[in-house]
Amino acid sequence: MRIGIIMGKIYKTINRQQLSGILEEAFSRNISACVFTVTEEYNHPMTAEGQKNLFRLIQFPMLDGVIYVPYSFSSPDYQNDIERFLQENCPKPVVRIGLEQKCFVPVWYHDRGEMREITRHLIRVHQCRKLLCLTGSALNPVARERLAGFRDALEEAHIPYQESQNVVYGDFYIISAQNLAQEFAEGSRPLPDAVVCANDSMAVALCDALKKNHISVPEDIFVTGYDGSLESQLHSPAVTTYSTSWKQLGRDALCQLYALMTGKMIISTRKEPGMLLCRESCGCRNKSHPYKIPFDYSKLEANYLDSRFSSALFSCTSLEQFMMTISQFLYLFMDTSYYMQEHYCLCLCEDWCSSHAFRTNGYSDKIMQMHQNGSYTLFPSSEMIPPEYQLLDTPNVIFFTAMHFQNRCFGYSLLQLDGIPDGINMHYLKFCRDVSNGLEVLRVRNVLQSLAYHDYLSQVRDTLTGLYNLTRLPHIWDEYRSNTILRKESCFWAAITIHGLYRLAEMGGAVFKDKLLVSFAELIQNECSHGEKCFRAGESDFLIMGSEPMNSHYHHLLIQNIKDKFEDYQRQHEQVILSLRYAIMEDQKIQFLSEENVINAASVLVSEAKSSKPSYSEQIHYIDLCHLRHEIYQNPEENWSTLICSQKLNLSNSYFHRIYLNAFGVSCAHDIRQSKLEHAKFLLLHTTDTLQEIARKCGYDYSHFMRAFRKQYHMTPTEYRRGR
């Protein structure tokens, strides 16, 4: 069996005791546990989002039940979010450590009786009659329960109780204690014999605030706390308190959950009652409760600060180096007495280092289980735990903490303790914070390196087409020429320019022009399949540097193929046909060029290509013919004819027919008919217009439309529409 435990601030003494009680009881019954905890609670919304993202990792099918400890989270926002998450997603039994009767089964200890015992001690031993209780919010059930114990002791001693005189509602934090001390100092509230505080934090804060206002504890007033924290023992004066058995509360929570999971009622294997600790703050001799602290914290703190762990992580330049650094510093939180029983693992999302968009919600489908040498093994995030950590037969606990920077989700850390109920410490959470920050530094470094590389590429490659910039020609030319000589071949340069590109930009816009340039760049790279180098030499200009066998005319074939493919491309995309102009420079003119003058030579060749004499189809009327063809396809419903078209260009009908056919390879009458039928196909597929309406919109009468469509496509318009 395996249970889940959701708890915050596991480094606090109280919370560690609860957790230790849960785990000791669980291990005794061969139950393992997964603990989901946060490394920090901060009200910054982005940081809170990054922390709470961890709970989306929980796979409830892998758990048999859940124990939720809401009071371990100081932020009500965390408490509410987690409770809502459990209500909406958890189908398994949930035990909630608290008094509130919500949709979960509550478990709590007898703090009412323990507060009564503290108050009874002040009344019976120290003869106090004027007592004041400083508790939490009036809406807090724990605050009301502890106040009830205070009231029970007063009623038992027949001391009159009036809420306005005997109770101060606070917040369980230091502010309410400081405000109360100020009231005593100002005289707005009379000084009682004793103040019974509902927790140690308020008691310690009250002692300090009274001292600042020249009111002595215990000479002028007695102060008691509640919880039995280490803070109350170390304070001067040491604070009288009740050491609640938080361990027993954890044991009881596990027993309650076990009953819900199995239907069998059990009692805890051990009983660990709390005790009243009478100390100096009520005038008693200091009877310190012995604390068992499994670590020498001062030594560990010194080791942590002396280690320069953060600096070592921040200097890493690769994930491999990062993982090796982590493995070298595991000693910072691991206890040598548990050697080989503690296992740390860093689990990262596949896209943790994405430079485009960082993950903020949930985890990737695959998780990378990182190894110490920087390699990794993938496992599904739905399994939550790497396979090798699921194989242990002995009971164990696995701690999950979020790896994040603000709301950027990197993954999570996993610490497995085999049969150790009290091996966690605050230095592990510090370690996790440093790892998270180190991952962000590494991510930023990778992004900056990527940007620098792209900046370098932008100097080497044209950002639009991906071809070499012409400025790279001197760096490539010498090596390319040398290799050509070794192969006993001759070099050639071919400059190609797309004629009329500016007119295309005017008609279709800059994006239309850029798409054509990208397509043309891909076309020439595909045709240049014999090791040629391709450069972009201007807005519409390109340069090909190639080689061929001696006395070969390969370059003529290459240019012709490029021209044919470019024209085919434009026909397929029904674009205005733009022509290519080119110029060739052969080996005898370029073989002796040096790095210093190759750019000038290339620029001269490009200029020659631009000024080269156009072919017959590129005479003065070519651009006008392109515009006309574009207009025919854009307005198929108009009453086009070859006579109308020739008149638009002020040409004779026969001359117009000849140059149109030479320019585009088809007659004008063919394009007129094709534009109408293509438009008809579009209307048949994308509208519900009747055939009569479609015929009209395409410039046909109905019967002529039916005959023309059937002749062209060997089916009727109705058959075409049905067979869409």
At residue 721, the pLDDT reads 87
pLDDT tops 50 at residue 295:
no
Give the number of domains in the chain.
Answer: 4
Final residue before a domain boundary, out of 581, 613, 645: 613
At residue 217, the pLDDT reads 93
Structure tokens at 668: 């004008």
Say if residue 9 is in the same domain as residue 90: yes
403: enclosing H helix or E strand: strand 396-405
At residue 292, the pLDDT reads 44
Contact 9, 42 (CB under 8 A): no
Say if residue 278 is in the same domain as residue 137: yes
Tell me whether residue 460 is in a domain.
no
pLDDT tens per residue, range 243-290:
888 888 898 999 999 999 988 888 888 888 888 999 999 999 765 444
Q: Give me the domain span that covers residue 597.
A: 468-613
pLDDT tens per residue, range 26-67:
999 999 999 998 877 666 777 777 778 888 888 899 999 999
Contact 224, 281 (CB under 8 A): yes
Q: Please give the average per-residue pLDDT across 144-163, as a whole number.
A: 93
711: enclosing H helix or E strand: helix 702-713
Angstrom distances, CA of residue 290 to CA of 229, 240, 243, 387: 11, 14, 11, 41
Tell me whether residue 710 is in a domain.
yes
Say if residue 25 is in the same domain as residue 151: no
Say if residue 658 is in the same domain as residue 518: no
Instruction: Name 580's Cβ contacts closer than 8 Å, sequence gap at least 6.
Output: 496, 497, 498, 499, 562, 563, 566
Say if residue 267 is in the same domain as residue 324: no
At residue 457, the pLDDT reads 56
Q: What is the DSSP letter of 467?
A: P
Say if residue 193 is in the same domain as residue 330: no
Say if residue 119 is in the same domain as residue 237: yes
Query: Sign of torsion, CA 542 547 550 556?
Result: negative
CATH of the domain at 485: 3.30.70.270
Say if residue 485 is in the same domain as residue 529: yes
Final residue before a domain boundary, out of 569, 595, 613: 613
82: enclosing H helix or E strand: helix 76-89
CATH of the domain at 675: 1.10.10.60
pLDDT tops 90 at residue 510:
no
pLDDT mean across residues, the chain: 85
pLDDT tops 80 at residue 385:
yes
Final residue before a domain boundary, out of 613, 636, 669: 613
Tell me whether residue 564 is in a domain.
yes
Tell me whether residue 136 is in a domain.
yes
Tell me whether residue 294 is in a domain.
no
pLDDT tens per residue, range 73-82:
877 778 888 8
Tell me whether residue 258 is in a domain.
no
CATH of the domain at 163: 3.40.50.2300
At residue 722, the pLDDT reads 84
Tell me whether residue 441 is in a domain.
no
Say if residue 524 is in the same domain as residue 635: no
- Give the C-alpha separation, 453 to 467, whole Å: 16
Say if residue 373 is in the same domain as residue 427: yes
Structure tokens at 711: 């002749």
Say if residue 191 is in the same domain as residue 67: no
pLDDT tens per residue, range 394-438:
899 999 988 888 888 888 999 988 888 887 777 888 888 899 899
pLDDT tops 90 at residue 104:
no
Contact 352, 407 (CB under 8 A): no
Tell me whether residue 455 is in a domain.
no
- Give the C-alpha separation, 306 to 556, whole Å: 73
The pLDDT-based confidence of 444 (bands split at 50, 70, 90) is: confident
326: left (phi over 0), alpha (psi -120 to 50) or beta: alpha
Say if residue 126 is in the same domain as residue 273: yes
| More confident site: 183 or 574 | 183
- Give the C-alpha separation, 246 to 36, whole Å: 19
pLDDT tops 50 at residue 456:
yes
Q: Residue 480, SS3?
A: helix
Q: Please give the average per-residue pLDDT across 298-307, as a whole number.
A: 53
At residue 304, the pLDDT reads 53
